[in-house]
Structure 1
Amino acid sequence: MASSPEAAPCSSSTWVMEKVTGTHLFKIADYSLAKGIGAGNPISSATFDAGGFDWAIAFYPDGQDKASANHISLFLCLRSDAGNGVKAAFSLTLLDQRRPPPRQPGRYLKDDCLTIQCTVSVLKKPRLETPPNARPVSLPPSDLHRHLRELLESGDETDVTFEVCGETFPAHRLLLAARSPVFRAELFGPMKERSAKRIKIDDMETLAFRALLHFIYSDSLPLELEELAKEPSASMFQHLLAAADRYGLERLRLISEDRLCRNITVSTAATTLVLAEQHHCCRLKEACLEFLASPKSLIDVMKTDGFEHLKISCPRL
């Protein structure tokens, strides 16, 4: 398999906003007597601490001003010197002391006593946390492809042999079946090769089959294929594309198609176009037609043996 890129070192950190919460209950006894003291006159609770600051509740029985005279008003007051300010969230709640059905009058009064609950959450300075021993571990790249390639080269525990144009290639049934749906059907399906220890292939180049096996085990192309000269390389990739399509190796088919798209010449354009048409490679076909769109290139291609092959194989093109 192709050598996967080394995994990037991974580390972590956490941004934490801490809060400190305090709650104060403020009871107004003889609430009925407090009503009528006039708008704008507050009743203040005792000072209480929450989050390291002093706070107090200001309760206006007749509202803060004349506009709110028919309502009560509640405020939270900061009694400490906040310096650079303080961030806080708070809630002021009238406790339901009788728990009657909703909207029933008097639910907040019990024995003429009103209870106000104030909850204050003071936000502290945020901090950044990193786990102890957070130094990232450097991971080596995967070497699975190397081990599988060595397994192929060693020939250990092989259980099937392919004979291609007189040359033999020992392999492992399970690995072939895992990588290729066609091999899976041939080696483990009802086809005759299921029990065969030796399978003969006459319609494939030995170099193409060797490269095919190498790719199945390592997910990469053999070095000798990369080092081929330009035009022999194009011919080799034509055979490899056909082999990849035959055995359902889509990634290898796309790799071969890409190499051929970047290696179209006068001597290969016609045969490559035939291949693209036969194996339904739309991108490769477009690249060939684009190359042939040049009048000079077309004239030169028409002089090649490959053009005669094109006319016979694909007369409609």
Structure 2
Amino acid sequence: MAPKMNNSTTSSRLVTEMVKGSHEFKIKGYSLVKGIGVGKFIESETFNVGGYGWAIHFYPDGKEPQVNAVYISVFVALVSNDKDVPAKFEIAMHDQRGIAKDFVLGHFDGSLMKTLHTISVGELWGFTRFYKRFHLEHSMYLNDDCLQLNCTVGVFPTTIDRSMAIQVPESTIGAHFGMLFEDDESSDVTFCVEGDKFRAHKIVLAARSTVFKTQFFSGMDKFDGEILVTDMKPKVFKALLHFIYNDTLEQAEEFYLSQSSFMSSLSELFIVKLLAAAHQYDLPRLKLICESVLCKHISIDSVAHIMALSERYVASELKSICLQFATENLDAVMKSDGFKHLKETCPVLQFELLKSVAAIVERAKPSGSVDTDETPMPNEIDAETSSYNPSSDEEDDIPD
């Protein structure tokens, strides 16, 4: 069956609004800069308009040789590292005595055509023949040897109205891999589990499990036919494959715990069998999922049994929580049937539990205190529990 595609309708709107800003550049001591030479300028501080950096360049002796120091030249420079910035400009000299009006050239007052000018970093916009120097020096624009220039920049940033943004659908890779699990035609390996056959894809299994990767691509044996699985039930193997392709459990959590009475046959629970399968095929995430399910059912009666399972399948997260719970409820746990079972089947765990208790007792001691008969040591908690003596080989496996 072809995968179902998500249909979506998208639209966007172009928003163009001019952002204007001005900068005032006072040149105090005009007589001191006059005569610096044609093509030489003094620069204003950088100012920001529309997210771009700008500066005013003032040429007291003119920018080009052909003006022969007859005109002053004034330009606007884009100094930020951008290109093709659409903008409008205006350069003005203020009448500092307020007798006449300002001298203005640019796009905003109608003195120039109201068209956009595109400018890039290092480029200039302005006037080589801005004003005759003789007239300037005898005008109201120069007062107390001070000249006041003003530059206005209008920038047209182009943006997309985010309220009309393109909606990206959720990832469908999980669903597609799930459908691949149901696709028998493209499969290249078959598993036979108690008469039930499951078809799969070597490359998918190898990508998810180092065990399958070694089995299929170690260069030793070739698996062109069926692979017989003798240590697992069909339902468990199907759930294992479902996780490999979908990264989720096949059923709701309750399904895995409703197969039998929890305490009467813990090892027969589906979730425990799935934990064993996850351990066997090196699927860490599936192991943690199974551990999280079992963790919710830790109790006084079950903790010892679950702790034994965690030891068997190297479920370290589950084991740590079991040890913590058992330590905090030691008296009740030691009276449970599960604890008796633990002593018979896994004495190493019993030893670890007592070490946890000893650590708590040690932390509870006041600083500098001395042991008394009222402070129980681990071997005083239960005389029967202190009879276990690990062999020299086992001692190497007992954590400090």
Normalised TM-score (structure 1): 0.58
Taking a change above 3 Å as real, the CA distance of residues 184 and 50 of structure 1, as seen in their structure-2 partners, is same
Task: Give the structure 1 partner of residue 91 of structure 2.
Answer: none
Taking a change above 3 Å as real, the CA distance of residues 123 and 184 of structure 1, as seen in their structure-2 partners, is closer
CA distance in 2, matches of 1:264, 1:135: 49
Give the paired residue count.
251
SS where residue 203 of structure 1 aligns? coil
Task: Give the structure 1 partner of residue 236 of structure 2.
Answer: 208
Kindly indicate whether residue 292 of structure 2 is the aligned counterpart of residue 258 of structure 1. yes
CA distance in 2, matches of 1:30, 1:209: 91
Is the CA contact 1:291–1:297 (under 8 Å) kept in the aligned structure 2? no
CA distance in 2, matches of 1:159, 1:136: 40
Task: Give the structure 2 partner of residue 184 of structure 1.
Answer: 213
Unaligned runs of 5+ in 1: 1-5, 32-39, 66-71, 78-89, 91-119
1:1-317 alignment to 2 at 5 Å?
18-19=18-19, 29=70, 47-53=103-109, 65=144, 72-76=145-149, 90=151, 120-122=152-154, 129-130=160-161, 134=164, 136-137=166-167, 139=169, 142-153=171-182, 155-165=184-194, 167-192=196-221, 194-223=222-251, 226-229=254-257, 231=262, 235-266=269-300, 268-292=302-326, 293-294=328-329, 295-302=331-338, 305=341, 308-311=344-347, 314=349, 316-317=351-352
Task: Give the structure 2 partner of residue 36 of structure 1.
Answer: none
- CA RMSD, aligned part only? 4.9
Greater length-normalized contact order (CA 8 Å, ≥ 6 residues apart): 1
SS where residue 223 of structure 1 aligns? coil
Structure 1 runs of 4+ off > 6 angstroms?
Answer: 8-17, 20-28, 54-61
Amino acid at match of 1:75: Q
The more displaced of 16-25 and 259-268 is 16-25
Unaligned runs of 5+ in 2: 1-5, 23-55, 63-68, 73-95, 112-129, 353-400
C-alpha displacement at 1:280, in angstroms?
A: 4.2
Taking a change above 3 Å as real, the CA distance of residues 154 and 13 of structure 1, as seen in their structure-2 partners, is closer
CA distance in 2, matches of 1:11, 1:316: 67
CA distance in 1, matches of 2:266, 2:109: 79
Is the CA contact 1:9–1:138 (under 8 Å) kept in the aligned structure 2? no
CA distance in 2, matches of 1:142, 1:30: 66
CA distance in 2, matches of 1:250, 1:14: 49
CA distance in 2, matches of 1:251, 1:290: 22
CA distance in 2, matches of 1:306, 1:279: 15
Task: Give the structure 1 partner of residue 358 of structure 2.
Answer: none
Taking a change above 3 Å as real, the CA distance of residues 310 and 9 of structure 1, as seen in their structure-2 partners, is farther
CA distance in 2, matches of 1:278, 1:59: 96
Taking a change above 3 Å as real, the CA distance of residues 12 and 210 of structure 1, as seen in their structure-2 partners, is same
CA distance in 1, matches of 2:97, 2:290: 88
SS where residue 285 of structure 2 aligns? helix
Is the CA contact 1:268–1:306 (under 8 Å) kept in the aligned structure 2? no
Taking a change above 3 Å as real, the CA distance of residues 298 and 255 of structure 1, as seen in their structure-2 partners, is same
Is the CA contact 1:20–1:50 (under 8 Å) kept in the aligned structure 2? no
C-alpha displacement at 1:180, in angstroms?
A: 1.9
C-alpha displacement at 1:75, in angstroms?
A: 0.8
C-alpha displacement at 1:186, in angstroms?
A: 0.6
Q: What is the aligned-residue identity percentage?
A: 27
Is the CA contact 1:162–1:201 (under 8 Å) kept in the aligned structure 2? yes
1:153-210 deviation digits (Å, cap 9, x = unpaired): 4643433222335544332222212322221221122243x33522233333443322
CA distance in 1, matches of 2:300, 2:234: 26
1:238-269 deviation digits (Å, cap 9, x = unpaired): 33223223323222122122212222234542
CA distance in 1, matches of 2:219, 2:202: 15
Taking a change above 3 Å as real, the CA distance of residues 298 and 163 of structure 1, as seen in their structure-2 partners, is farther
Is the CA contact 1:160–1:172 (under 8 Å) kept in the aligned structure 2? yes
Is the CA contact 1:51–1:122 (under 8 Å) kept in the aligned structure 2? no
Is the CA contact 1:271–1:307 (under 8 Å) kept in the aligned structure 2? no
Is the CA contact 1:21–1:50 (under 8 Å) kept in the aligned structure 2? no
Is the CA contact 1:177–1:184 (under 8 Å) kept in the aligned structure 2? yes
CA distance in 1, matches of 2:223, 2:334: 50
CA distance in 2, matches of 1:269, 1:12: 59
1:102-136 deviation digits (Å, cap 9, x = unpaired): xxxxxxxxxxxxxxxxxx42579x997528x9364
Task: Give the structure 2 partner of residue 82 of structure 1.
Answer: none
